[in-house]
């Protein structure tokens, strides 16, 4: 994998308008792992791309009426088959974390990068997802002032509001996989 201007060259690019500039050219130093599925518990379909680009049709599913207006996007999504989709350059401030804090600092969007895994809190993620996540994480660890201790879950930075990536996410497996490349 390679990065060019904060974009992973091999990712499928779906540019989102849901970002702005980081404060004072802040260099991102935190990686947040999320999950998402639309409708909840269902996989596939164009819905996540549409939500993250502000084009989700509110009438396509009863659940969508509540979320179609949201202006949100992660930097990347890893689908069940391991496909990598990128919506926002890592150098820009994507709107994925919401009200949040890490190590005493609020507004994690300012200084973090967000990766969504297509999934739910309780269903095991796929081998292909762990494989792609390892590759992306290795790339980000190489290019940004990131450490293993600064890779965390959405539920850790917004514990009152969020549960993702949930107990289904195997942190030991994931961190062991990147530790081999980044001792």
Establish if 34 lies at the interface with Zn ion (CB under 5 A).
yes
Tokens for 146? Answer: 């990131």
22 or 162: CB nearest Zn ion:
162
Does residue 18 interact with Zn ion by CB under 5 A?
A: no
Which of 49, 91, 118, 164 binds Zn ion (CB under 5 A)? It is 164
At which residue do the structure tokens 């201007």 appear?
5
Q: Does the protein bind Zn ion through residue 79 (CB under 5 A)?
A: no
Cβ-in-10-Å burial (0-12, 13-18, 19+) of 161 comes to exposed
- From 24, 42, 83, 116, the catalytic residue: 116
What is the Cα–Cα distance from 146 to 102, expressed in whole angstroms?
14
Q: Is 131 assigned a catalytic role? A: no
Q: How many residues bind Zn ion (CB under 5 A)?
A: 3
* Residue 19 region by backbone torsions, left for phi larger than 0, else alpha for psi between -120 and 50, else beta: beta
- Among all residues, which ones are annotated catalytic? 116
Positions that interact with Zn ion (CB under 5 A): 34, 154, 164
């Amino acid at each position: 994998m390679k990065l060019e201007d904060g974009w992973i060259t091999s990712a499928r690019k779906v540019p989102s308008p849901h970002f702005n500039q980081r404060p004072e050219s802040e260099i991102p130093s935190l990686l947040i792992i999320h999950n998402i599925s639309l409708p909840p518990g269902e996989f596939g379909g164009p819905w996540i791309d549409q939500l993250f680009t502000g084009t989700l049709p509110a009438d396509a599913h009863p659940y969508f009426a509540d979320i179609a207006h949201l202006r949100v996007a992660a930097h990347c999504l890893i689908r069940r088959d391991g496909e990598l989709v990128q919506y926002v350059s890592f150098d820009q401030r994507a709107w994925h974390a919401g009200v949040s804090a890490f190590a005493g600092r609020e507004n994690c969007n300012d200084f973090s990068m967000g990766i969504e895994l297509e999934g739910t809190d309780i269903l095991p993620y796929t081998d292909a997802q762990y494989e792609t996540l390892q590759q992306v994480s290795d790339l980000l660890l190489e290019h940004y002032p990131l450490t293993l201790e600064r890779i965390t879950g959405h539920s850790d930075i917004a514990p009152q509001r969020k549960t993702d990536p949930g107990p289904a996410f195997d942190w030991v497996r994931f961190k062991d996989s990147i530790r081999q490349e980044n001792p």
